[in-house]
Structure 1
Amino acid sequence: MKTFVPKNDEQNWIVVDATDIPLGRLATVVASRIRGKHRPDFTPNMIQGDFVIVVNASKIAFTGGKLDGKVYTRYSGYQGGLKKLTARESMAKHPDRVIEHAVFGMLPKGRQGRDMHNRLKVYAGERHPHVAQNPQPLAITNTARTKAAQSNNEVK
Structure 2
Amino acid sequence: MKTYIPKNDEQNWVVVDATNVPLGRLATLIASRIRGKHRPDFTPNIIQGDFVVVVNAQQVALTGNKLDGKVYTRYSGYQGGLKTETARQALAKHPERVIEHAVFGMLPKGRQGRAMHSRLKVYPGPAHPHTAQQPQTLEVK
TM bucket, shorter chain? over 0.9
The size of the alignment, in residue pairs, is 141
Which residue number in structure 2 is paired with residue 135 of structure 1?
Answer: 135
Shift of 1:5: 0.3
Shift of 1:84: 0.5
Larger radius of gyration: 1
| TM-score (norm. length: structure 2) | 0.99
Shift of 1:10: 1.1
Is 1:35 aligned with 2:48? no
Shift of 1:64: 0.4
| TM-score (norm. length: structure 1) | 0.90
1:1-156 aligned at under 5 Å gives the runs: 1-141=1-141
Distance 1:86 1:26 in 2: 19
Shift of 1:58: 0.0
Gaps of 5+ in 1: 142-156
Aligned to 2:10, the other structure's residue is in SS state coil
Moved over 2 A (4+): none
Distance 1:10 1:37 in 2: 15
Distance 2:92 2:7 in 1: 42
Aligned to 1:54, the other structure's residue is in SS state strand
Shift of 1:79: 0.2
Aligned to 1:38, the other structure's residue is in SS state coil
Distance 2:117 2:62 in 1: 23
Distance 2:76 2:89 in 1: 18
Identity within the alignment, %: 78
Aligned to 1:73, the other structure's residue is in SS state strand
Distance 2:139 2:49 in 1: 17
Shift of 1:77: 1.1
Q: What is the Cα-based RMSD across aligned positions, in Å?
A: 0.4
Distance 1:122 1:30 in 2: 11
